[in-house]
A = this chain, B = another copy of it.
Amino acid sequence: MSGEQSVPGGPGDGSPAGPGTVRPGGRTARTRAAALRAAEDALIEAGFDALDLADIARRADIGKTTVYRRWGTPAALVADLLLDMAEQSLPRTETGTLDGDLRANAGLVHKTLTDPRSGALFKAVITAAACDADAAAALHRFYATRIAEWAPCVDQAIARGEVPQGTDASEVIRAVSAPLYYRFLVSGDPLDAAAADRAARAAGAAARAGAYAASYDHP
């Protein structure tokens, strides 16, 4: 697995390292692992449009019947891949300040979207979600997991008095990612390190100004 849920050489990058990253044994688990790795490769090479279950069976060296019985459709296979990506996702970085934590988060998203493999993978799963409700539900669960992993850095900033009480922690984390995904999927503007820094800085500044505090939503 690569991307937002992983770093090269770290837990979750496919090497059998780290507690919680080893797949439970057994043939069923090995079959799933092989199919998901093949799906990831196929999505990176050719996108969701070209995803084909017979091709996945060939790439993973498992029976076509097994693949069809277990997943049924390309979208269901993508949904299972997203579940696995969420399960393998990395713990957040803690730097001790809100700006530092948000910069670490923005850096991870930036790295995920600009890496050729993980960038192509994320574009493919987002495309799958635009075409299929089950893939969309799995995509939303993946991001809910990632947002929940990072939101505590905002709660800690509230406790330290860096941002107002009642600040919506999840919304601050979404605000860091949003400008980067907007460039990636929508506007095509450069997705560089400056854009990542600016995303983190703007989310922090808006949070300090109380823009994500509940009192604003319900005055």
A interface list, Cβ under 8 A from B: 47, 49, 123, 126-127, 129-131, 136-137, 139-140, 143-144, 147, 171, 174-175, 177-179, 181-183, 185-189, 194, 197-198, 201-206, 208-212, 216-217
From B47, B171, B183, B187, contact of A198 by CB (8 A): B171
Please indicate which of the listed interface residues A181, A183, A186, A217 has the most CB atoms of chain B within 10 Å of its own CB.
A186
Contact A179 B185 (CB under 8 A): no
* A113 CB to nearest B CB, Å: 11
Closest partner residue, chain B, to A171 (CB atom): B198
Which partner residue on chain B sits nearest A209 by CB separation? B205
Smallest beta-carbon distance A10→chain B, Å: 23
Q: Is the CB of B182 within 8 A of A174?
A: yes
| Complex Cα–Cα for A178 and B181 (A) | 8
Bound form: Cα–Cα A202–B211 in Å:
5
Indicate if the CB atoms of B186 and A143 lie closer than 8 Å: yes
Distance, CA A47 to CA B147, complexed state (A): 29
CA distance A212 to B143 in the complex (A): 26
A100: min CB distance to chain B, Å? 16
